[in-house]
Amino acid sequence: MPIILHITTQAEWDAACAAGSYRPTSLAHEGFIHCSTPAQAVDTANKYFRGRADLILLCIDESRVAGALRYEPPAAIGGVPDPRAGDLFPHIYGALDPRAVIRTIAFPIDRDGRFALPPDAVS
């Protein structure tokens, strides 16, 4: 089963589970939920979340995603092209049903505020 990952906080995930669906701000502002493959997650975290010690990874079973799932290039932010423009990132178009998440994993940082992929994020 192919797994994709989404970075969030435990508090946001707990609220989503209580509400019955996960709708991060990117869904309202951009129309989709940003995700990464296991190979992309660390670079994404270090680029956008470096130093944050309150994050978790949602491990999402692609086959359980109800909305459209598209692999697309990253968008330029503030007119600056993303250096990962050759990669395709998974984007979920629609709310995420908590039942699509097969596990959540703490996403700790090291002493320098950088991330490493936890081993159970890909198994």
| Residues 73-120 pLDDT 10s | 876 555 555 555 578 999 999 999 999 999 999 999 999 999 999 988
Pairwise CA distance, residues 41 & 5, whole Å: 7
CA quadruple 36, 37, 38, 42: dihedral sign? negative
For 3-117, CATH number?
Answer: 3.20.170.20
CA quadruple 106, 110, 113, 118: dihedral sign? negative
Q: CA nearest 48: which of 24, 13, 14, 17?
A: 24
Q: Could you identify the residue written with the tokens 């968008």?
A: 75
Q: What is the residue-averaged pLDDT of the chain?
A: 90
Q: pLDDT at position 119, please?
A: 86
Confidence of residue 9 (pLDDT cuts 50, 70, 90): very high
- Bridge-based pairing of strands 55-61 and 3-9 is antiparallel
**What are the boundaries of each domain within the chain?**
3-117
Two structure tokens written together for 53? 């010690």
pTM for the structure as a whole: 0.90
Pairwise CA distance, residues 84 & 65, whole Å: 25
Q: pLDDT at position 80, please?
A: 52
Confidence of residue 63 (pLDDT cuts 50, 70, 90): very high
Confidence of residue 123 (pLDDT cuts 50, 70, 90): low
Q: pLDDT at position 77, please?
A: 54
- What is the residue-wise DSSP string for 101-120? EEEEEE--B-TTS-B---GG
What is the mean predicted confidence (pLDDT) over 38-56? 94
